[in-house]
Amino acid sequence: MQRTDLKRLNDADQLIREIATDLGLEFMPQEFDVVPAQKMLEIMAYRLPVNFSHWSFGRDYEIERTKHEHGYAVPYEVVFNSDPCRAYLMDTNPFPIQVLVMAHVYAHNDFMKNNRHFQNSRRDMITTAATAAERFRGYEEHYGIDAVERVIDAGMAIQWNIDPTEHIHRQSEDEVRQRLYGWSRELAPSGPYDDLIPDRPKPTRNQKRALQKRTPPEPTPDLLGYIINHSPRPLEEWEKDLLSVIKSQAQYFLPYRQTKIMNEGWATYWHEQIMQRLFQKRFLTAEEHGYYNLYNARVKAHHPRNLNPYLFGYAILKDLEDRWNKGRFGPEFEELTDAYTRDQWDTGLGKGREKLFEVRRTHMDWFFVDEFLSREVVENLDLYLYLEREHPSYYEVVVAETEWQKVKRILVQSLMNSGVPRILVTDGNYRNSLQLYLEHAYEGLPLQDEYARKTLELIHYLWDRPVYLETNEPYNDKTRGKLYAVDESGVHVRTE
Amino acid sequence: MAVVQPDYSSTPRGKTDAARHRRKVKEAIHRNLPDIVGDEAIITRKEGQVVKVPIKGVKSYHFIHGQTAGEGGGFGSGESQRGKVIGRRPKQGQGQGGKPGGEPGTDYLETEIDIEEIIQMMLEDLGLPNLRRKEVRETVIPKGWTFESIERSGIRPRLDKKRSIKEAIKRTEVLIGALMEQTGRAEEECRRALVAAKGDSGVARELLQSEEPLPDTSDEPEYLLESDDLRYRTIREDVEYQSNAVVLAMMDVSGSMGTMKKYFARSFYFWMLSFLRSIYRTVDIRFISHTTEAKLVDEYEFFHKGESGGTKCASAYELACELIDTEYPTSRWNVYPFHFSDGEDWDPDRTVEAAKTLLAKDPAALGYGEIQTEYSASVLMKALEQGLRLQTYQNDGFLHYEGTVNQTPVLGVILRTRDDLYPALRTFLKPDRV
């Protein structure tokens, strides 16, 4: 890229910053690095500008590269929740696309600065990952690539089995025990409704004695953390380091997963607003406007086999803004049966923008979709649930459900816990012999069997003693219990 | 400035890790050979087509939700018509259905692979790396006599006149050159002198040095043969090297042979042919289907048509004998008769006799595959076991029979499920058998 272009990009940056501020966005200092395509694809595959080596990143790099080389051109954007906020631009993109990405990034920046789920992230993750990568290379040299890889394989398998709210109540096992003894309270009494919270029944002597030995003292979703701290293998320090880095990166990326639809919808909503202003100001030419339209349409395209978060989040936000502008919410509106009145309903409330800013501060996808996905959006987007029908040598993908309430119910269910099955560690000393007992908090969806087996094998590699997983599965219109047991001889399954 | 262009000329780690991933894919293919071998897509592929093989084992595993058994699902947008088919997805080997979770495209991987590559891997698996045995597998066929070399001595009838005259010309020209050098006379004078001297270079030199006029030699022959010039041919027996194999594919097509059973046979023949092609220069296959009577059919009929009626396996072996006698003499062809049946033979004793007759014709190997189901009344394998004194072997739950009759290896395999296919092929392909 030539200097002049860089100058024009800086002009664009300045202008976008002014417009975004004027529109009410509020962001951390923003930095853009212009990088070659290969570096861009690498960052996308490795999830961070510099990260440790692993074949799965290599695989993703190859997938990205193939897509890129086959002209599956999208306005690549990568932005990190760091302070200052770091984003990357691909040097081969045409200028209007760079501007589009920059506008988009400023909105992400605003979202990450203000959404409460991003508030506990390590905003130094870029440098942390780079130094970890350096350490990992040392481990590879010292302990061998294969040994390092096996631990990373296992760690990545359970990277999402962490406690999403760990930052709120980080407690040691002893602290948890004390809380359970009733010696300390989980939350200091501070609200007007505190008297409504029932006191926990005081544990008996025997219960206390049992509690003293039980580990974890209460079931925890932090499987990865539990293994790091309690594996009887035992884990070497370098192995713990590998796993801890994986855990901290998972924690860092968790808010992205939890807010993917909102975050992309938000950025798309705002880049359109900002771009409009730029065109009004004649900063971009008519030809560049054409480019922008083409790419913007690609960003918001329908995807037949997955929900495009850019389109979906954008549609809900637009709808939300419209509804709060016109007062189309609340029982008075919801209970309207006359289609015409419903269609024409407008109280002139004018609180659309205000509502948008409020929602971006408090929500994550699960609640966002549950609360705000309306019949109009489902029907305007022609949202559907598809299923795969089995044929002798292939699966046929069929539109199975379009009725808005059914589609919404299943969609919301799939967003719960950002789609990760909740696995709880209930006993780390099962049968008093350091065996690991896990329970799947079954909520109607069974575990995918092949993936469960392979994941359990990887957990067993880290734990080294037998590992059990209790779950349920649908069986003849009912539910039956299912127990996985893993030891050196492999995975065994017992059903009730 | 907030927009900068830093220098990124560091080493591309994406490529290194991608290479590691590719290596893992290859290992995974290796591990999943039994699955891949049974994959229908490979066997039914068109000539020269690359096969896409779904790979298990290079996915990133984690706990994910599954849908109800056999169904994958998800959400999409832009389509309002219920029941509309919006796409297809090929099956992943024998794996469970169901798209794993919310990351489409990253976990589900397909790779393209050559049949040759798969075969090479199978050979490695068998401990036969880089099997290049086309030369070893050659058959010698006498074709009378041929000349071998040229010698200075021999018998009159094998005198090579042309070569002898060439030698004379060569010698004469060398002598003329020497005379020119010694006497300083022109080439034509030297030639005339040499002819006049009847080839004796000493006399010719004297003639040239005497300064007398040279005699007219226009009637004399220009070149004279001497005994040194004579060359004789030697001969040797002529043979032709051929490397031919023929598979005599025999199959029971009686009513009890269902589609699945035929599929096993088909897969087995497919791989057998692919292997033999990597070893022999020419590989033929002839199809013999039989019920109570055997007949030669084409490939399509062989695999697709069934007939009602009883089963007399002997008829197929008898027809195979006939084919060897008329078209594929074992002196020129490596004959691989292989028979598939569900073993419900009406007259197993006669089949054993027919098999013995076939073995007496010295085929390269004889194979019998029995496709058993829980309900089949299989008698043939037992009969062959006793009649040909086969030994049973069992490894990893796979049962097979082996023996040798007149130094010809005899092999019996029992196929029950698709998983038996690979061990059956392994057994067939043991180094000493092919």
The ranges assigned to domains in chain A are 3-115+259-299, 309-416, 420-495
Judged against a pLDDT cut of 50, whether residue B99 lies above it is answered with no
Enumerate residues 6+ apart whose C-beta is below 8 A from A268. A104, A299, A300, A310, A311, A313, A314
Q: Which of B17, B64, B84 sits opposite A58 (nearest CB)?
A: B17
Q: Does the CA dihedral B129-B130-B135-B139 come out positive or negative?
A: positive
Whole-number CA gyration radius for chain A: 25
Judged against a pLDDT cut of 60, whether residue B390 lies above it is answered with yes
Q: Which of A59, A393, A421 sits opposite B21 (nearest CB)?
A: A59
The pLDDT of residue A318: 96
Residue A472 to residue A485: CA distance in whole angstroms: 14
Can you tell me which residue has the tokens 């003292």?
Answer: A217
Judged against a pLDDT cut of 60, whether residue B431 lies above it is answered with no
Where along chain B do its domains lie? 147-235, 243-428
Residue A459 to residue A487: CA distance in whole angstroms: 10
The residue in chain A having the minimum alpha-carbon distance to the alpha carbon of residue B106 is: A60
Nearest CA-CA distance, residue A186 and chain B, Å: 30
The residue in chain A having the minimum alpha-carbon distance to the alpha carbon of residue B44 is: A393
Give the tokens for residue A444. 């109607």
The pLDDT of residue A350: 92
CB A416 within 8 A of CB B127: no
How far is CA B138 from each of CA A314, A493, B144, B241, B245, rounded to the nearest angstrom?
A: 72, 54, 18, 6, 10
Lowest mean pLDDT among A121-130, A463-472, B17-26, B348-357: B17-26
Q: Any idea what DSSP says for residue B65?
A: B
Q: Is B24 on the interface with A (CB under 8 A)?
A: yes
Q: Is B20 on the interface with A (CB under 8 A)?
A: yes
User: B104 or A259: whose pLDDT is higher?
Assistant: A259
CB B231 within 8 A of CB B150: yes
Per CB-CB distance under 8 Å, the chain B contacts of A419 are 64-65, 101-102
- Contact yes or no for B8 and A58 at CB 8 A: no
Enumerate residues 6+ apart whose C-beta is below 8 A from A192. none
CB A424 within 8 A of CB A220: yes
- What digits encode the pLDDT tens for the residues B166-222? 998 988 888 888 888 888 888 888 888 888 888 888 888 888 888 777 777 778 888
The residue in chain A having the minimum alpha-carbon distance to the alpha carbon of residue B75 is: A385
The whole-model pTM stands at 0.69
Q: Give the side-chain half-sphere CA count within 13 A for B28.
A: 18
Residue A154 to residue A461: CA distance in whole angstroms: 7
pLDDT block averages, 10 residues each, chain A of length 496: 75 96 96 90 91 89 76 75 92 90 96 94 92 94 94 96 84 83 61 69 81 89 96 95 96 95 96 95 91 89 88 96 93 86 89 96 95 93 87 79 92 88 95 95 88 95 96 88 94 91
- CATH fold group of domain B243-428: Rossmann fold (3.40.50)
Mean pLDDT of chain B: 77
- Contact yes or no for A303 and B105 at CB 8 A: no
Mean predicted confidence (pLDDT) in B226-233: 88
- What digits encode the pLDDT tens for the residues B145-157? 888 888 888 888 8
The pLDDT of residue A144: 94
User: B262 or B52: whose pLDDT is higher?
Assistant: B262
pLDDT band at B70 (very low <50, low <70, confident <90, very high): very low
Judged against a pLDDT cut of 90, whether residue B120 lies above it is answered with no
Name the phi and psi angles at B127, rounded to 5.
Answer: 80, 25
Nearest CA-CA distance, residue A335 and chain B, Å: 25
Q: Which of A156, A161, A401 sits opposite B60 (nearest CB)?
A: A156
Q: Is B155 on the interface with A (CB under 8 A)?
A: no
Give the tokens for residue B410. 């005899």
The pLDDT of residue A269: 97
- What digits encode the pLDDT tens for the residues B249-275? 998 887 777 777 777 887 888 888 877
Prediction ipTM score: 0.88
- Contact yes or no for B20 and A156 at CB 8 A: no
Nearest CA-CA distance, residue B269 and chain A, Å: 21
- Contact yes or no for B16 and A53 at CB 8 A: yes
How far is CA A215 from each of CA A124, A167, A220, B62, B128, rounded to the nearest angstrom?
A: 33, 21, 10, 24, 53
Q: Which of B14, B41, B88 sits opposite A41 (nearest CB)?
A: B14
Q: Is B16 on the interface with A (CB under 8 A)?
A: yes
Interior/surface letters B9-46, b for 16+ CB within 10 angstroms, e for the rest: eeeebbeebbebbbebbbebbeebbbbbbbbebbbeee
Selection from B281, B292, B228 nearest residue B256 by Cα: B292
User: A70 or B97: whose pLDDT is higher?
Assistant: A70
The residue in chain B having the minimum alpha-carbon distance to the alpha carbon of residue A380 is: B78
What's the length of chain A?
Answer: 496
Nearest CA-CA distance, residue A314 and chain B, Å: 13
Burial of A79 (0-12, 13-18, 19+ CB in 10 A): buried
User: Cβ–Cβ contacts within 10 Å for residue A220, how many?
Assistant: 19
Residue from B75, B89, B112 to probe the interface with A (highest A Cβ count within 10 Å): B75
- Contact yes or no for A304 and B1 at CB 8 A: no
Nearest CA-CA distance, residue A267 and chain B, Å: 19
Residue from B44, B45, B62, B263 to probe the interface with A (highest A Cβ count within 10 Å): B62
Per CB-CB distance under 8 Å, the chain B contacts of A56 are 21, 60
Judged against a pLDDT cut of 80, whether residue B47 lies above it is answered with no
Give the tokens for residue A457. 């094998």
The residue in chain A having the minimum alpha-carbon distance to the alpha carbon of residue B101 is: A419
The residue in chain B having the minimum alpha-carbon distance to the alpha carbon of residue A447 is: B65
User: B141 or A2: whose pLDDT is higher?
Assistant: B141
How far is CA A90 from each of CA A71, A285, A301, rounded to the nearest angstrom?
A: 14, 21, 21
Edge-first strand listing for the sheet containing A478-487:
A423-430, A435-440, A467-475, A478-487, A490-495
CB A483 within 8 A of CB A452: no
Whole-number CA gyration radius for chain B: 37
Enumerate residues 6+ apart whose C-beta is below 8 A from A271. A100, A103, A104, A107, A296
Q: Is B412 on the interface with A (CB under 8 A)?
A: no
- Contact yes or no for A397 and B88 at CB 8 A: yes
